[in-house]
Amino acid sequence: MAWGLFLLFFTIISPISNLASKTDDSISDFARVCNDNLTFKTNSTNLNFENNVNLLLSVLTSESSHLRHPPLKFFNTSVGRVYERAYGSYLCRNDLSSKQCHNCIVNVTNFMFDLEFGYSDCIGFDFTIQCIVRYAKSSKFSLYEEGFGLTYQPIGNNVTNYKEYNKVLLDTMQSLVEEARYGNWTKANFTTREVEVTGYKEKIYVLVQCTPDISAINCSNCLSELSSRVPNCCNNSQGGVLAHANCLMKYDNRSFFGEASSSFMPTYIYVSFVLLLNIFSFI
């Protein structure tokens, strides 16, 4: 009897742990945006910095491979001596599984390994905005810098009801910007929205995320900067991806995000098992 109850309970809860891996995104192409001019390798300091960047990217890749509960979606560190030190970080979308996060970091860092390291402050990313990798000569990751690493592009086809579509989209983004300002998201630095276009049987799916090392106000400022670029970037398009060194945004009229991972699930399962053991002790 007790064993039967255990099997029934495990059958009910076990599918929940797989929700974080449900996403239609696939990594297809990559890009790098740098915030400074190319410098030539004229001295040992620049050469050592390049070596440290190589090592740093390897460290970021290794760190993302560790299985944790919840998965580590943001990590920053530094490598090397003070004058040649390379600072770096990675950010993965919070709706991805550990494996998806790691795969994205591997692909982006491999892409960056093949590029010239003469730039001293750069971000690399995939065009589905699953993850962002950054390296720099100074530790500025907790600072929001307007315009840094800013990139965007439309996705999908044009919509015929673009006036209604864009109004709902921009209203939704403004709401998210205001919520971010006061730290009102249920999961820190990350949230998603599913809204309906007024008068049409159509939905818009919106995902936004900030790096967790910036303040709520700077998160709001960062997202506000991205949303202000939507008319130039993606006007009339069904979707768009926009990225900054400290935040990202994606929207589409097709569902694309998975269930955000958090520490709730492992704790929930643990408590449930404790309760079951207590029940079994009375049977």
> Which pair of structure tokens corresponds to residue 230?
């939507």
Task: Tell me whether domains 19-141 and 152-252 share a fold.
Answer: yes
> Which pair of structure tokens corresponds to residue 255?
């569902």
Distance from C-alpha of 168 to C-alpha of 258, rounded to nearest angstrom:
22
Q: Is the peptide bond before 154 cis (omega within 30 degrees of 0)?
A: no
**Residues pairing with 242 in the sheet:** 152, 249
> Which pair of structure tokens corresponds to residue 271?
């408590």
**Residues pairing with 32 in the sheet:** 124
The pLDDT tens digits of the residues spanning 205-258 come to 999 999 999 999 999 999 999 999 999 889 889 999 999 999 999 999 999 988
Laid out side by side, the sheet with 131-136 consists of 30-34, 121-126, 131-136, 86-92, 74-79
Start-to-end CA distance of the chain, whole Å, equals 9
pLDDT at 41: 59
The pLDDT tens digits of the residues spanning 165-201 come to 999 999 999 999 999 999 888 777 899 999 999 888 8
Pairwise pLDDT comparison (117 vs 95), residue with the higher score = 95
The pLDDT tens digits of the residues spanning 7-62 come to 332 222 222 222 222 333 444 589 898 887 666 556 776 888 889 999 999 999 99
- Sketch the domain layout of the chain as residue ranges: 19-141, 152-252
**Cα–Cα distances in Å, from 43 out to 39, 50, 120?**
11, 11, 14
| Nearest residue to 67 via CA among 261, 211, 207 | 261
Distance from C-alpha of 234 to C-alpha of 223, rounded to nearest angstrom:
16
CATH, domain 152-252, list 3.40.50.880, 3.20.20.80, 3.30.430.20, 1.10.10.10: 3.30.430.20
234 Cβ contact list (under 8 Å, min separation 6): 152, 153, 154, 155, 240
Say which CATH architecture domain 19-141 belongs to.
2-Layer Sandwich (3.30)
* pTM passes above 0.85: no
